Every structure is written in C-alpha cells, then in structure tokens.
Structure 1
Amino acid sequence: MIHKDAIVHPSAQIADSAVIEKGAFIGKNCVIGENVIVGYNAVVERDTVVGDGTRVCMNAHIGGDPQDYSFKGEDTKLIIGKNCLFREFSTVHRASTKEDVWETVVGDNCFIMSYAHVAHDCKLANNVTMTSFSALGGHCRVGSFVNMGGFAAAHQFVRIGSGCMIGGKATLLKDAPPFCMLAGTPAELEGLNSVGLKRRGIGPEVRMELKRALSIYMDLTVKLVDLPEELSFLHPYPEVLEFIDFIKDSKRSFVRG
C-alpha cells in the first residue's frame, strides 16, 4: 500500500505487500522488498535495496549521498538485508567510489536505533545493534552480533570483530578483536564478552579457550607479529580460529591495552 501523499520515483520497484506511509519519499532506482514498512516522512533517497521485512521508521533517512569531498554524484548503492529496524532519525549513507564495490551494506536482523549513523562504504554483518547516537565512520567493518552502546563511535576504517560489546561513549581508534568487551576513550579491552557468547550457545570449553587466547593477546611482552604463532597452540575451535584470523589482517593495529 502506498499512501497518496507519499512521493515515489517512477523507477522505484515496490513489492505489493510493502507499506509506504504518508509523507515518505522513495527515490530513484530503489527496490523495496516484501512486507517492508517505510514510515511517516521517512526517506529512502536513491539507489537503495531494502530487504524483506525491514522497517524504516518515521523520519529515518537512508540511502543519502556519502559525506565525502571527492563524491561527484556517482551511482553508488546501499544494500540492506532482511528484518532490519531503523528507528527515527537514524541515517545510513550510500558508498563512495573509493572501494572496488561501490556499496554500503547492512546485513540481516540489524537494529539501528534513533540518531545512530552508518557512514559510506561500511559493511555490517548480521544481528548488529547500534544504540542511539552511536556512529561508524566510513569504511568500517562490523562483524555479526556486535552491540554498540549509546554515543559509541568508531574511526573510519576500523574493524570490529564479531560478538563484541562496545560500551557507551567508547571511542574506537583501532581494530577490536572478536568476542571482546571494550570501553573508554580511547577504548580499552575490558575482557571477554562471556555473557554474549553464552547467550549465543557457545559452550564453556570454547569460552575458556577464548579466555586463554585473550590472555595471550593482552600480554604486551608478546609482539603483535608473533601473536598468530603464540595462539596456534590453542585448540582450533571455530571461534578461536576466527580470533586468530582477525589479528592477521589489520591496517589500523589493534586495541591491546
């Protein structure tokens, strides 16, 4: 159902089961999936795919131009997965042209709360929660089941490993390894996110091995370049291997303190 007072570009594709409420704007080349709700005065600006079951609440603005001086209006995209929720005044921008794939991506089941911001070229995995006023700079990579507290922020190009809990007002200037809790400005490691792992059904033996991995990782007498070898002696649970793989690839170094 499309409200008579909504504005829809002729090139937009909207599923029959979608609801476009009064005052909403659907721009050029947008694709709106099944059972999507675009609320009162919400904006899906252009070149945006919104997956089935997603809700864009009133006054949210997604698919806007990247805030990038070099952007010249190219046809970059925003791809949003299924069953996401974008609360009022949240913003998500399309990509710039600085990466091979001109796409900002938000995975399935993500919850972007009021006034949160996802910048250009970010890639969010599934089940990411961004609390009100949290923000991701451009080109960030966020793993699955990450939770960012209110007013938390990540510098551009920062990677946040899956299962991380980022405390309120934390400032991430370096990569955050998977399954950790971080807090402070600049952010520091507070330990393993054991509660989050337990809630996801990760067994005690895996959690214990991840604690060992984190203990080695936080030992500053071990050089960063030597960490993969030091961690290779741990039991190769998938989560441990994910932890090791993450630290093998960094452009901004890591939070270790």
Structure 2
Amino acid sequence: MSAIHATAIIDPKAELDSSVTVGPYTVIGPHVRIGAGTTVGPHCVIEGHTTIGQDNRIFQFNSLGAIPQDKKYAGEPCELIIGDRNTIREFCTFNIGSPGDVGKTVLGNDNWIMAYVHLAHDCLVGNNVIFANNSQLAGHVHVGDWVILGGFTVVHQFVRLGAHSMTAMCSLLFADVPPFVMCQGQPAAARSMNFEGLRRRGFSPERISGVKAMHKALYRDDLTLEQAKQRIAELEAAHPETAPDVAMMNGFLGAVSAQRGIVR
C-alpha cells in the first residue's frame, strides 16, 4: 500500500493489485479493478464498472468510466474495459458502454493515446493504435488494429475504421474507412493507402502490391462497391500471399451499411 499516495481516495471495494501505483488526489470507485504494474497519475477519477489490465501508464487528469453522454442511459451497470500496456496521456475521457449496444467500451492492448482523446460509449478499439491529441470518437465507433488518427480527427457515431488505416490532422469522418486507407479532409476523402506503415510492420513487397491492387479497384477503376469486392476477391487466386489481406478487406466491405458507405 506504500505505492498509494496518502491523499488518494480509493473505495474499499475497489480491487487493485499490490503493485499498482496511485498518485495524489486520485479518486477510484468501488467497481474498479486494476491489474499489476499499472501506474495511475495524480488527479484522476476512475469510476463505474471499469477494468484496467496490466502495465498501463495513466497520466494525470484523466476521467475513466464515467456514465455515457447519452440521455437514454438510466444507470445500467455497463462497463469500460482497458487492456494491457496502454499509455493514456492527460485529460482523456473514456465513458462506459450503454444498454443500447454491447454495454461495453473497450480499449485493447499496446495503444498510444495522446492528450484530450474522447472515447464515447460503446467504442471498440483494437491494439497498437495511435490517437494523436484531441482525437474524438462518438458513440459506437469501431477501430481496428494499427489505426493512426491524426490530431483533431473527429469520428461520427457508428463509423468503422479498418486495420492499418490512417487519418490526417483535422479529418472529419462521416463514412467507414476501409483497411489500409489513408484519408484527409472535411469530410474526409481517400487519398492513398498506408504503404509506409505496412513496410514498417513487415509487409512483404508482394502483400503491398496486393494492397495497391485493392486501392486501384476501390478508387481508381470507376467500379461500384460490389464490382470492387469481386475484383478484390480475384486477387487471391493470382497472389496467394494476399489471402489474409483480401479476406480482411472483403470482410470489412461486406459489413458496410448503405447509410454510412465508405470514404471516397
């Protein structure tokens, strides 16, 4: 208990591993669980049914687990779940889920979350993402692995971002962003694919060529979405090494709603 500052207020029902560090004036509620090696800075409020994994570094002035900004919410025991090895910088606000969806807001593992980021209710965020300062996610947003959001990116509710996608600074997203796509603008438009990011993550030249072919089908050949999906599906036969990327892309495109569409 020597790692808990004397001015911190921790409910006796909270479950904190003995190795957790808590800074001055932080408040932790009764339904909070925090795993081994996690550090919580000063002046944080962690409340609600919140579970935080191991080896996270939570900086000062964060609000985690508050009720959703949803007028329909009526006190249901929804959750916030944060995985392992995340860095959460100053002034972030992560809300619990809502009964109108899965009831959970989830942040995965190994994520780098910069200052003033907002995760609204029922957001599902994967692993190894980078959210730059002031990235704002409305409710029910789904974010795949390795996504990068430029500073001041704003994401409309129910939008999905596929794995390895990326936004430029001040992007405004009203439509789904397919895997690998780089987009920019207000509203955001597709500009290219995240080729440099894929190289850094060890994608082979053959796989990157497959991603280029998918970009061409989606954005360069004047095809409908259904025609593009068919063209993308045909890549696997000619280039077997693209199989996981083709499956991920067509799985994502198959769930695109007519109302939301994809960035163009």
TM-score range, shorter chain: over 0.9
Match of 2:252 in 1: 246
TM-score with structure 2 length normalisation? Answer: 0.94
Residue 219 (structure 1) shift: 3.9
Residue 227 (structure 1) shift: 2.5
Alignment of 1:120-159 (within 5 A): 120-159=121-160
Q: What does the per-residue CA deviation read over 1:188-242, in whole Å, with 9 as the maximum and x for residues that have no partner?
A: 1111100000000001111011101111111463222332212111025211221
Q: Is the 8 A contact 1:26 1:46 kept in 2?
A: no
Paired residue secondary structure (1:215): helix
Match of 1:105 in 2: 106
The amino acid that maps onto 1:167 is A
Q: What does the per-residue CA deviation read over 1:78-119, in whole Å, with 9 as the maximum and x for residues that have no partner?
A: 0000001111101111001111x3110000011111111111
The amino acid that maps onto 1:124 is V
The amino acid that maps onto 1:110 is N
Paired residue secondary structure (2:247): helix
Paired residue secondary structure (1:3): coil
Q: Distance in 2 between matches of 1:135 and 1:28?
A: 28
TM-score with structure 1 length normalisation? Answer: 0.96
Match of 1:226 in 2: 227
After alignment, is 67-76 or 234-243 more displaced? 234-243
Q: Distance in 2 between matches of 1:152 and 1:66?
A: 20
Which of 243, 247, 263 aligns to 1:255? It is 263
Paired residue secondary structure (2:223): coil
Q: Distance in 2 between matches of 1:103 and 1:245?
A: 23
The amino acid that maps onto 1:20 is V
Q: Distance in 2 between matches of 1:74 and 1:28?
A: 15
Q: What does the per-residue CA deviation read over 1:10-45, in whole Å, with 9 as the maximum and x for residues that have no partner?
A: 211000000011101111210010011111001112
2:43 matches 1:41 = yes
Q: What does the per-residue CA deviation read over 1:167-206, in whole Å, with 9 as the maximum and x for residues that have no partner?
A: 1000110000001111111001111100000000001111
Q: Is the 8 A contact 1:85 1:112 kept in 2?
A: yes
Q: Is the 8 A contact 1:18 1:36 kept in 2?
A: yes
Paired residue secondary structure (1:234): helix
Q: Distance in 2 between matches of 1:190 and 1:227?
A: 17
Match of 2:81 in 1: 79
The amino acid that maps onto 1:253 is G
The amino acid that maps onto 2:103 is W
Q: Is the 8 A contact 2:41 2:59 kept in 1?
A: yes
Q: Distance in 1 between matches of 2:253 and 2:111?
A: 25
Match of 1:204 in 2: 205
Structure 1 unmatched ranges of 5 or more: none
Q: Distance in 1 between matches of 2:111 and 2:217?
A: 32
Structure 2 unmatched ranges of 5 or more: none
The amino acid that maps onto 2:117 is A
Match of 2:214 in 1: 213
Over 3 Å counting, the alpha-carbon distance change for 1:71 and 1:199 in structure 2 is: same
Runs of 4+ in 1 over 4 A off after TM superposition: none
Q: Distance in 2 between matches of 1:121 and 1:193?
A: 27
Instruction: State how many pairs are aligned.
Output: 255
Match of 2:4 in 1: 2
Q: Distance in 2 between matches of 1:232 and 1:221?
A: 17
